[in-house]
Structure 1
Amino acid sequence: MPVLAFIMEDLEDVALDHADKLGRTAFHRAAEHGQLDALDFLVGSGCDHSVKDKDGNTALHLAASQGHMDVLQRLVDIGLDLEEQNTEGLTALHAAAEGIHADCVVFLLSAGSNVNALTQKGLSCFHYAARSGSEDMSRALVKAGGRTDVADKGTTPMHLAVKHNFPGLVQLLIEAHSDLDAMDIRQQTPLHLAAEHAWQDVAEMLLIAGADLSLRDKQGKTALAVAARSNHISLVDMIIKADRFYRWEKDHLSCRDDSDLSRKNLTFKQDHRQETQQLRSVLWRLASRYLRPNEWKKLAYSWQFTEAHVCAIEQQWTGTRSYQEHGHRMLLIWLHGVATAGKNPSKALFEDLMAIGRRDLAESTRKMANGEPTAPRRCTVM
């Protein structure tokens, strides 16, 4: 620090706490740029530790925002106020979180910073962590007792994690018991946002965690309706599967497997399992070749698909043969349900085709599902 020493010793008219146009002194600048030696020299020379710049930032804010851990530690040691707020209401902890400096966040929490302090806009440190997707910061905030449901105009950290598609953070917030059904300013839940943006991984996490599928946004739309409106076919089918699963589970509480409380084996995504490949092939042939235009709906209603389910399926694909695609999707959704319920899908399909008056189709479908040869087609000369 020979230059600083020269200035202080030989230029008597230099003010130690002189501020620049931003209101920052040499002490601010040393903290901002991580110059620990300069900071120590200024402290030893008697500078003002608590001075603020024009935005209300102390040296602690500036060091935290830039991630200068050694400077931050020194400033805490000399007694700077951890809870001092700038003009926007940010504490040093907010500044560290906004700058995505997880190590500084952990240090400030250990030093006693208020984990639930709010800015003037009602933002918590969790909001900043969720914006960046930092799992390390979020984990530290949870461990320190941070509230996960503080809302900024209705927007919770969960909304932000879903909106920006951070699956790891969404899972962390779920495990921290965040409110899955909180509504933002548009009355959208996190699931509405996942449906709007077609984030399948995030949506499945929310569905498995038990997000309420009946909630409506300001336009009166459920998450299913939002997904259907946006033509997110896979997500529409996932939500219908989830809705049917929870309706079934509610009616069969005694059938629930208590050994799978985490529902680790539950999925609502498209089925690609080898063991269902033959039956899925049969369902495709059934839908594309044999079912008549309105018969898929007859089956759907007999299988307790709701009007909303059917409408959501019909919203994608149009034209005279669109019923084939609609029927195929409905059959795959149904297959998920019967598999989850532990039923024999071939037997159930046979019985329900009989119920809608398609005895011939029921028998041929049973044979196809069992790998038996069906009657050969006759070649007709026109």
Structure 2
Amino acid sequence: MEEDQAWDTHGLLPLERQLHQAARQNHIERMKELMEKRVNVRARNHVGRVALHWAAGTGHEQAVRLLLEHEAAVDDEDSFGMNALLLSAWFGHLRVLQVLVNAGAKTHCENKDGLTLLHCAAQKGHVPVLAFIMEDLEDVALDQADKLGRTAFHRAAERGQLDALDFLVGSGCDHSVKDKEGNTALHLAAGRGHAAVLQRLVDIGLDLEERNVEGLTALHSAAEGTHADCVQLLLRAGSNVNALTQKKLSCLHYAALGGSEVVFRALLHAGGCPNVADHRGASPLHLATRHNFPALVQLLIAAHSDLDAMDSRQQTPLHLAAEHGCQDIAEMLLVAGVDLNLRDKQGKTALAVAARGSHVGLVDMIIKADRFYRWEKDHLSCRDPCQPPGKGVTFKQDHRPDTQPLRTLLWRLASRRLRPQEWKRLADSWGFTEAHVSAIEQQWTGPRSYQEHGHRMLLVWLHGVVLAGEDPSKALFEGLADIGRRDLAESIRKKGDTQPRAPRSCTAM
């Protein structure tokens, strides 16, 4: 229901507009004055609202009685299909609802969305109204579905109304019923992030692995909505973290989207306006800042999610993070130890996907990770068996003070001293693959792009050298000598030792 839109008084004459206002504010004397002037009590505004709707929706019993005494039609509906009885249930005004029932209002009514009295009261959490409906009205269909196939039980779960949910359970509602999209109450509560309701549904015994028509379990719904508390709750209850949807999406796939999918949908809903709220009152900006995707990814990784699960496009979670440029999430996946050789249906690795999207920082992170994995594999024999692979590693850009002198040297080397093709020769000497070089070259900025390419390659190289606990100055000298630039190597060495003091170790920092 659009209350702001409904309150607009377009389509009313001046006295009719005043009657609507008086009914909404319970100004009884003014209403009587207007009625003495024979104002039309059934006058409708542009969305079909009459004065009785306002009096009922705002809970003004006196105004309701006065309008009924002056022949207001008790069952008049507005353009949303809402009548006074439904409005009183929606807003929880029990006394008004009782007055309307005694005045002969039809109790078996529904609005254009198929919402009954029970739906309206349940989704707003009005337990006294629910009790009156169930105990005092005849032939109430407890499990009647609305146009979406949702019962009052669904609506209470979807809106997080725990007391209403408990009342309906106590009244004997069907716990396992699905809506037209195959959602159980568990899906709806998880998708909206209602942890208390979700816990109650788990305690009741709803099937954790029940799937909707798209193959989503409640855990998928919680992950898609990025509700980490609900994800954790469902995992503790025994939900399968590696269940796949019809499109073969795992929970980690949803989390790896990094918010881009959720925000994109919200932007579409709001017509591209970042401050326009959706039907739940959340703007795209709210969604972008509220959802903690990295925390969710970390939670799913810790729960032993399949890091390399492939969806229907053969994309892994890392492919999705690379496609959308989600660096924080990508790094978590890289540190956890994903397979970087997997290819999607287009034959592209995550590195190629990141390069295609011009996600430069992410490209460099993936290359660092690939080189680290290769180095780690060669040094398995001297790694501490009690230390998990990759623990303490970061693949983000280095901003540490102790490496600053060498990073400055590498920038000068790339921008002033190396010839156009020499960075590639260095890369080959240091074990960079053709795919690494190609991904770096993907970002072309002009005839002097080689300077930027060379600088990026040198920083990636430095990351690996420092992780290995090697001497960067010595390795740089040997690399330059290997490509025939011993003159350059000697000139750098004469300027002094700039190596960062990293501990020598065959484990990560």
Cα separation, partners in 2 of 1:3 and 1:319, compared to 1, 3 Å: closer
Aligned counterpart in structure 1 of residue 248 of structure 2, from 144, 147, 154: 154
Tell me what 1:101 maps to. 194
Cα separation, partners in 2 of 1:282 and 1:43, compared to 1, 3 Å: same
How far did residue 243 of structure 1 move? 0.4
What letter matches 1:175 in structure 2? A
Q: Secondary structure at the match of 1:214?
A: coil
Tell me what 2:257 maps to. 163
Indicate yes or no: 2:126 matched with 1:35. Answer: yes
Give the alignment of 1:218-257 within 5 angstroms. Answer: 218-257=345-384
Contact 2:258 2:294 in 1 (8 A): no
Comparing 179-188 with 326-335, greater Cα deviation is found at 179-188
Counterpart CA distance in 2 for 1:168 and 1:83 is 31
What letter matches 1:188 in structure 2? Q
Tell me what 1:378 maps to. none
What letter matches 1:176 in structure 2? A
What letter matches 2:128 in structure 1? D
What letter matches 2:344 in structure 1? D
User: CA offsets, 1:150-190, max 9 Å, x none?
Assistant: 22312222222121431111111111111222222322211
User: CA offsets, 1:179-208, max 9 Å, x none?
Assistant: 222222322211111111111101101111
Counterpart CA distance in 2 for 1:371 and 1:304 is 23
Counterpart CA distance in 1 for 2:208 and 2:342 is 31
User: Please, what TM-score do these two structures have when normalized by structure 2?
Assistant: 0.68
Counterpart CA distance in 1 for 2:478 and 2:314 is 43
Structure with higher RCO (Cα < 8 A, 6+ apart): 1
Contact 1:162 1:193 in 2 (8 A): yes
Contact 1:131 1:164 in 2 (8 A): no
How far did residue 19 of structure 1 move? 4.9
Indicate yes or no: 2:269 matched with 1:142. Answer: no
Tell me what 1:70 maps to. 163
Comparing 26-35 with 328-337, greater Cα deviation is found at 26-35
Counterpart CA distance in 2 for 1:244 and 1:369 is 28
Aligned counterpart in structure 1 of residue 225 of structure 2, from 129, 132, 135: 132
Give the alignment of 1:174-213 within 5 angstroms. Answer: 174-213=301-340
Contact 1:98 1:128 in 2 (8 A): yes
Query: Aligned Cα RMSD in Å?
Result: 2.3
How far did residue 10 of structure 1 move? 7.3
Give 5+ residue unaligned stretches, structure 2: 1-93, 260-292, 500-509
Contact 2:153 2:168 in 1 (8 A): yes
What letter matches 2:197 in structure 1? C
Comparing 168-177 with 43-52, greater Cα deviation is found at 43-52
Cα separation, partners in 2 of 1:193 and 1:340, compared to 1, 3 Å: same
Contact 1:17 1:48 in 2 (8 A): no
How far did residue 103 of structure 1 move? 2.0
Counterpart CA distance in 2 for 1:262 and 1:302 is 26
How far did residue 134 of structure 1 move? 1.1
Counterpart CA distance in 2 for 1:266 and 1:316 is 26
How far did residue 23 of structure 1 move? 4.2
User: CA offsets, 1:235-294, max 9 Å, x none?
Assistant: 111100000100111111023244542744201111111111111111112222222222
Q: Secondary structure at the match of 2:495?
A: helix
How far did residue 70 of structure 1 move? 0.7
Counterpart CA distance in 2 for 1:23 and 1:330 is 62
User: CA offsets, 1:54-96, max 9 Å, x none?
Assistant: 4332221011112111101122223323211122211111121
Indicate yes or no: 2:135 matched with 1:44. Answer: yes
Q: Secondary structure at the match of 1:71?
A: helix
Q: Secondary structure at the match of 1:250?
A: helix
Tell me what 1:111 maps to. 204
Tell me what 1:376 maps to. none
How far did residue 330 of structure 1 move? 1.0
Instruction: Tell me the number of residue pairs that the alignment of Structure 1 and Structure 2 aligns.
Output: 370
Comparing 119-128 with 312-321, greater Cα deviation is found at 312-321
User: CA offsets, 1:299-350, max 9 Å, x none?
Assistant: 2111111111111112223544322222211111111111111111111112
Tell me what 1:377 maps to. none
User: CA offsets, 1:121-175, max 9 Å, x none?
Assistant: 2111122222221111111111111122222312222222121431111111111
Counterpart CA distance in 2 for 1:62 and 1:90 is 12
How far did residue 22 of structure 1 move? 4.3
Give 5+ residue unaligned stretches, structure 1: 373-382
Aligned counterpart in structure 2 of residue 91 of structure 1, from 159, 184, 189: 184
What letter matches 2:254 in structure 1? L
